[in-house]
Structure 1
Amino acid sequence: MSGERVRPRVAVSSCLLGAAVRFNGGHSRDRFLSDALSDHVDWVPMCPEMDLGLGTPRETLRLERSPDGPRLVTRRTRRDLTAPMKALATERAAVLRVDGYVFKAKSPSCGIHGVPVHTGEASADRRDRGLYADGIMNAHPLLPVEDEGRLHDEVLREAFVERIFAHARLRALFEGDWRPRDLVAFHSRHKMQILAHDPGAYRRIGRLVAEAGTCQRDRLAAGYGHAFRTALAVRGTIGRNVNVLQHCLGMISDHLDPARRADLVEVIQSYQARHVPLSVPLALLRHHIRGAGATYLRDQTYFFPYPDELRLRNHVPA
């Protein structure tokens, strides 16, 4: 197992870490973020309402429908904060250097989905984003983004955490004095992880890396970075994981006796049938990979996309 431990930098709505910045003077501390994940990431707390000088406690805000798009207004005094909030989002997006963002759910400024847009006293629909979150997400479409509510879902939580750690490793590579051979080595470690998300991208990125020695450095970084982040944004599936598990089994099959090989086949089939979580075949494969001395597989990020302590692959697929 690789000793590489890069800490993601993750922007977060301050209230989710326990800061008393909510409209009512309180907070919305989330246990997974402030306890479990805090040991492994570097948070970049942000609160757009506080940054606009609204203070706390403060008048509540809401989105209202208009011909020019949703407008952010205070409920009682009818102060229109649309322009300053959009300007803040543009300013922040221009300098944002993070590996992910966790927003406050349902907030008219920070919500990423299901935010009500009002027409008069009626709530017209709940399909919009908060004004600030919309600016950030439009400027960084490949940035891993979630809200604390969606992170209660085990599948979404695992997908988000996997992506922020992958983004962090890529950022660490490109922030250093890297050479084409370093990118080749990085890609080699991530091959199985990419394959589990997007087999088509796996082939396309492979062709890009094959030209690493002849491509201009900045162009190579931009092209690889976009392709890598796009591939990881594709949701992994049971079928794609089974494909990777079987691929890895094939690479060590000659080192296994028939009984051990049969055990691995059986446990992969159990995962495919949704009887056991992904952690079960992965643990058995990792054990046999170490025994076979298969260095290439041992170093694959697919087997340790984030710290094992987070225990995010222990859910049985629905």
Structure 2
Amino acid sequence: MTDIPREPDHRIPVGISACLIGEEVRYNGGHKRHRYVQEVMGRHFRYIPLCPEVAIGLGVPRPPIRLVGDPERPRAVESDNPERDSTDALAAYGREQAHGLHGEISGYILKAKSPSCGMERVKVYDHKGMPSGNGRGIFAAALMEQHPTLPVEEEGRLNDPAIRDNFVERVYVYDRWRQLVAGGLTAGRLVDFHTRHKFLILAHDQLAYRELGRLMASAGEADIETLAGQYLKQLMAALSKHASRRDHSNVLLHVAGYFKRHLDADDRQELSDTIHAYRRGEQPLLVPLTLLRHHLRRHPEPYLANQQYLDPFPRELGSGER
């Protein structure tokens, strides 16, 4: 009997805390399955699940751990037996995974409030057992320190549409970057990558837009590996900033200018009214973007057609606000 060939999995590889996709790895033998993360995002992301506490041998079930000491440099210890300290093991595992997954994943979703995986606002306790501040999970801190440009988010924050849109957008940009690197870095390919993301960058950070443009001006002269490292660092920092309605509106108006000579007075007015309605908060971003894509189909503009801003990720994953 001939095997039926399997369809290739084109989903984007993303690391994730294993409990979020239903694996029973928590200290009490349970899980924290997140329906949206697994059922919706999982149609586009291929998850690589990890549980650092299980990985370092703490077992299931196990005594819970918590962060203690200095919130800037907390220790992860067993709640009822502070002598059992897992800090170094969790940090080492975080560094190991950051190294092993480097270039293999395009994002990471962490379990919120976890002493190992929490990205932020994890309770830290003093020697009396009282909350003394907030810190970051030990594994998460090591992972993010070793892999600073990787898009990372917590499942709890993904319930906020604006935060979710920003994370998904960064994951898709980072995945395109991985494809660029895999295909071989050249000055020409780097400049092309930047060109396709210009309006996306502009919506997030005008200063970074100008700085990255100047960086690309040296693409033919600078060492390509060094230049690419600088570019990625500045790019991901820029995209992590929230793009306001005003920022988006300025980019939308800029895009609309490409159609000025193609549209009649009524179409131009409709487009302008739609963009300003979005700016006033009366419509989601999806409305002017859809109208611009409509005009692009009717009046093809190669430069605009290549801009990731107009369609940065599958619409199923977006709130429409971005």
Q: Normalized against structure 2, the TM-score is what? A: 0.91
Provide closer, same or farther for how the CA distance between residues 293 and 123 of structure 1 changes in structure 2, counting only shifts above 3 A: same
Determine helix, strand or coil for the equivalent of 2:109: strand
Aligned partner (choices 33, 58, 65) of residue 69 of structure 2: 65
Asked if structure 1 preserves the Cα contact closer than 8 Å seen for 2:199 and 2:251, the reply is: yes
Distance 1:295 1:305 in 2: 16
Deviation at 1:305, TM superposition (A): 1.0
Determine helix, strand or coil for the equivalent of 2:233: helix
Provide closer, same or farther for how the CA distance between residues 33 and 292 of structure 1 changes in structure 2, counting only shifts above 3 A: same
Asked if structure 2 preserves the Cα contact closer than 8 Å seen for 1:72 and 1:80, the reply is: yes
Structure 1 runs, 4 residues or longer, greater than 6 Å off: none
Asked if structure 2 preserves the Cα contact closer than 8 Å seen for 1:9 and 1:44, the reply is: yes
Asked if structure 1 preserves the Cα contact closer than 8 Å seen for 2:199 and 2:309, the reply is: yes
Aligned partner (choices 216, 220, 226) of residue 219 of structure 1: 226
Deviation at 1:119, TM superposition (A): 2.0
Please, which moves more after superposition, 259-268 or 7-16? 7-16
- Structure 1 alignment gaps of length 5 or more: none
Deviation at 1:126, TM superposition (A): 4.2
Provide closer, same or farther for how the CA distance between residues 306 and 126 of structure 1 changes in structure 2, counting only shifts above 3 A: farther
Deviation at 1:242, TM superposition (A): 0.6
Give RMSD over aligned pairs. Answer: 2.0
The one-letter code sitting in structure 2 at the alignment partner of 1:34 is Q
Provide closer, same or farther for how the CA distance between residues 91 and 36 of structure 1 changes in structure 2, counting only shifts above 3 A: same
Distance 2:130 2:153 in 1: 23
Asked if structure 2 preserves the Cα contact closer than 8 Å seen for 1:64 and 1:117, the reply is: yes
The one-letter code sitting in structure 1 at the alignment partner of 2:148 is P
Distance 1:67 1:279 in 2: 41
Deviation at 1:308, TM superposition (A): 1.8
1:161-184 Cα offsets, whole Å, 9 max, x none, are: 101111110111011124322222
Distance 1:68 1:301 in 2: 38
Deviation at 1:121, TM superposition (A): 4.9
Distance 2:215 2:163 in 1: 30
Determine helix, strand or coil for the equivalent of 2:117: coil
Residue number in structure 2 paired with 1:96: 101
Residue number in structure 1 paired with 2:239: 232
Asked if structure 1 preserves the Cα contact closer than 8 Å seen for 2:40 and 2:317, the reply is: yes
Distance 1:66 1:217 in 2: 41
Deviation at 1:7, TM superposition (A): 4.2
Residue number in structure 2 paired with 1:50: 54
Provide closer, same or farther for how the CA distance between residues 216 and 132 of structure 1 changes in structure 2, counting only shifts above 3 A: same
Distance 2:141 2:234 in 1: 23
Deviation at 1:69, TM superposition (A): 3.5
Determine helix, strand or coil for the equivalent of 1:255: coil
1:220-270 Cα offsets, whole Å, 9 max, x none, are: 322222222222122211111011000001111111000000001001111
Distance 1:6 1:123 in 2: 47
Residue number in structure 1 paired with 2:79: 75
Asked if structure 1 preserves the Cα contact closer than 8 Å seen for 2:185 and 2:224, the reply is: no
The one-letter code sitting in structure 1 at the alignment partner of 2:19 is C
Residue number in structure 2 paired with 1:125: 132
Please, which moves more after superposition, 217-226 or 48-57? 217-226
Deviation at 1:312, TM superposition (A): 2.5
Determine helix, strand or coil for the equivalent of 2:261: helix
1:15-65 Cα offsets, whole Å, 9 max, x none, are: 001111111111111111111111112212111001011111111111122
Q: Kindly indicate whether residue 89 of structure 2 is the aligned counterpart of residue 84 of structure 1.
A: yes
Residue number in structure 1 paired with 2:19: 15
Equivalent positions of 1:188-227 (< 5 A) are 188-227=195-234
Aligned partner (choices 159, 165, 185) of residue 152 of structure 1: 159
Distance 1:67 1:193 in 2: 36
Distance 2:122 2:297 in 1: 49
Determine helix, strand or coil for the equivalent of 1:102: strand
Please, which moves more after superposition, 121-130 or 265-274? 121-130
Equivalent positions of 1:280-299 (< 5 A) are 280-299=287-306
Asked if structure 1 preserves the Cα contact closer than 8 Å seen for 2:69 and 2:75, the reply is: yes
Q: How many residues align?
A: 311
Identical-residue share of aligned pairs (%): 42
- Structure 2 alignment gaps of length 5 or more: 1-8
Please, which moves more after superposition, 147-156 or 85-94? 85-94
Residue number in structure 1 paired with 2:173: 166
The one-letter code sitting in structure 1 at the alignment partner of 2:315 is D
Determine helix, strand or coil for the equivalent of 1:9: strand
Deviation at 1:93, TM superposition (A): 2.4
Deviation at 1:272, TM superposition (A): 0.5
The one-letter code sitting in structure 2 at the alignment partner of 1:168 is D
Deviation at 1:188, TM superposition (A): 1.4
